[in-house]
Amino acid sequence: CDRFEIDAVAVCDMPRIAVFEHLRSAMDDGRQVALGFCNANMLLKALCSASYAAALKKLVLLNDGVGLDLCSLLFRGRSFRENLNGTDLVPALLGGETRERTLFLLGARPGVAEAAARNIALRYPQHRVVGTRHGYFAAGEVETVIAEINAVAPDILLVALGNPDQETFIAENAHRIDARILMGVGALIDYTAG
């Protein structure tokens, strides 16, 4: 994709429709895409932490928010084509998909992912939430969490652990997670739960 690069971080400048096509074809062809939505807060964290920057390098990053857009304007003289964030993009993706997609919701406080799953079932009856897991697990439980995800091999894994944990989790584990699309989505699970 066309990129905005600042220090070690490269953010794709893609129109939303191209993002949808990319994700759809990955799901249809069984390829994996690990996605992050980069806002100014994440960019600052990456500029201050080489390990977080290295984790972000393993993800396809999309631009989220006015802060990043301002950086793009200042450093390369133009804005991003569109503002893309998980809170808008995921509902639009699910709403536009007629083919059944399966989802696993990982993150948020206990009970919240289950409430979000009920709302997804009401809003998008064509899709299926095949697993949920709250986001307050210890480092020693990562293997169990991954085994739970792999047991159902979802098309879409939504990871809401906050930054930098969600991007780090995806970057470190994507290669052994049986899911097509992995996305760090911040407060989306809370938001979907209502």
Comparison of 64 and 69: residue with beta carbon closer to ligand UDP: 64
Regarding 3 and contact with ligand UDP (CB under 6 A), the answer is no
Contacts of ligand UDP in 169-188 (CB under 6 A): 186-187
Number of residues that bind ligand UDP (CB under 6 A): 14
Helix segments in the chain, DSSP class H? 16-29, 40-48, 50-57, 66-76, 86-96, 112-123, 142-152, 165-173, 188-193
Residue 160, strand partner residues: 107
Comparison of 27 and 117: residue with beta carbon closer to ligand UDP: 117
User: What minimum distance in Å lies between the beta carbon of 106 and ligand UDP?
Assistant: 8
Q: How far is CA 174 from CA 2, 7, 93, 162, 188, in A?
A: 24, 24, 21, 17, 20
Which residues lie closer than 8 Å to 22 by C-beta, 6 or more apart?
14, 33
Contacts of ligand UDP in 70-129 (CB under 6 A): 107-109
Contacts of ligand UDP in 146-165 (CB under 6 A): 160-163, 165
Regarding 65 and contact with ligand UDP (CB under 6 A), the answer is no
Regarding 135 and contact with ligand UDP (CB under 6 A), the answer is yes
User: What minimum distance in Å lies between the beta carbon of 53 and ligand UDP?
Assistant: 17
Question: Residue 70 and residue 29: Cα distance in Å, rounded?
Answer: 36
Comparison of 26 and 146: residue with beta carbon closer to ligand UDP: 146
The verdict on whether omega for the bond into residue 91 sits within 30 degrees of 0, i.e. cis, is: no
User: In 3-state terms, what secondary structure has residue 156?
Assistant: strand
User: Residue numbers of the site for ligand UDP (CB under 6 A)?
Assistant: 107-109, 135-136, 160-163, 165, 186-187, 189-190
